[in-house]
Amino acid sequence: MKLDYDTAAATLSQLGNITRLKIVRELVRAGDAGMPVGEIRNIINIPNSTLSHHLGHLRNAGLVRQEREGTILRCFIEFEQIGGIVSFLTEECCAADPVYVK
């Protein structure tokens, strides 16, 4: 997934919040199995309303998706979007001519 500057900036803006960054890291750790909202809340130790607020931002940025399993709401990290932002940040690595200090 190739990102443009606007999309990358919006994504990084959402990741610039410490609570959202913690949520993303927990979901990355959970892998393809995802994690129930209640488990995220217990790990991060924040109120439900605060967690919902942050998950909404992450969903809107395309970083997280949610699926309902009966009474359980499970969250999944969007690995393609995470990979896209990592690629955006590193795709020009070492492309410039080296600068020599004299």
Per-residue model confidence (pLDDT) at position 100: 56
Per-residue model confidence (pLDDT) at position 97: 66
Residue type, 76: F
Residue 81 belongs to domain spanning: 5-90
49 part of a folded domain: yes
Per-residue model confidence (pLDDT) at position 98: 63
71 part of a folded domain: yes
100 part of a folded domain: no
95 part of a folded domain: no
Torsions phi, psi of 93, nearest 5? -55, 125
Q: Starting from the edge strand earliest in sequence, which strands make up the sheet with 72-77, in order?
A: 35-36, 72-77, 64-69
Q: Name the domain count of the chain.
A: 1
The per-residue pLDDT string of the chain (102 residues; one tens digit each, 9 = 90 and over) reads 688 899 999 999 999 999 999 999 999 999 999 999 999 999 999 999 999 999 999 999 999 999 999 999 999 999 999 999 999 999 888 877 666 555
Per-residue model confidence (pLDDT) at position 92: 81
Cβ neighbors of 27 (< 8 A, separation 6 or more) are 34, 35, 40, 64, 75, 76, 77
Q: Which single residue is written with the structure tokens 């109120």?
A: 47
Per-residue model confidence (pLDDT) at position 95: 78
